[in-house]
Amino acid sequence: MNLRTMLKNLWKRPKSKRQFYGDAHVRHIAWWYCWCNEFPDLYFARLRTFSNGRADVLFQDETKCFGFDNEEFASYFIAEDEFSPLTSLNDDYRRILKVPPGFEVQPPTWESREVDEFKYVGEY
């Protein structure tokens, strides 16, 4: 990547929550679970991907949302905090987390909620 492209990308970076989301709409929501918390105290994070290609992350019980250039960078960020996609919750992980047999782990009901603070991270 040459200097001109790097400067152009820097200039295009969103400087506010409003610029980050623009008029984009949610294209996909993925739920992640923390593998440090046992049942019944499972802890979740929500990763949303938008029509503009950007993604955001919101952790359960947090009021700060993190913005990323794409879903891949957002995934790296969540995974580093000891989270895994809820879709990967197999029988072995269920035993480790002490989820009772036959219990259906459901994501939280807060698909959308207000946040007090937004931090643009970009690449991670």
- For residues 79 and 83, give the distance between their C-alpha atoms in angstroms, rounded to a whole number: 5
Q: Check whether 5 has a pLDDT greater than 90.
A: no
**DSSP labels, 1-61:** --HHHHHHHHHHS--SHHHHHTT--EEEEEEEEETTS-TTS--EEEEEEETTS-EEEEETT
Residue 55 is part of which domain span? Answer: 13-122
**Residue 19: inside a domain:** yes
**Residue 4: inside a domain:** no
**Residue 75: inside a domain:** yes
The structure's pTM equals 0.84
**Residue 18: inside a domain:** yes
Confidence of residue 33 (pLDDT cuts 50, 70, 90): very high
Confidence of residue 34 (pLDDT cuts 50, 70, 90): very high
**Residue 71: inside a domain:** yes
Sequence-ordered list of residues with C-beta below 8 angstroms from that of 96, at least 6 positions apart, any chain: 35
Neighbours of 64 (CB within 10 A): 12
**DSSP labels, 78-90:** HHHTTEEEGGG--
Token pair recorded at residue 75: 């995934």
- Among positive and negative, which fits the CA dihedral 34, 37, 39, 45? negative
**Residue 57: inside a domain:** yes
Confidence of residue 1 (pLDDT cuts 50, 70, 90): low
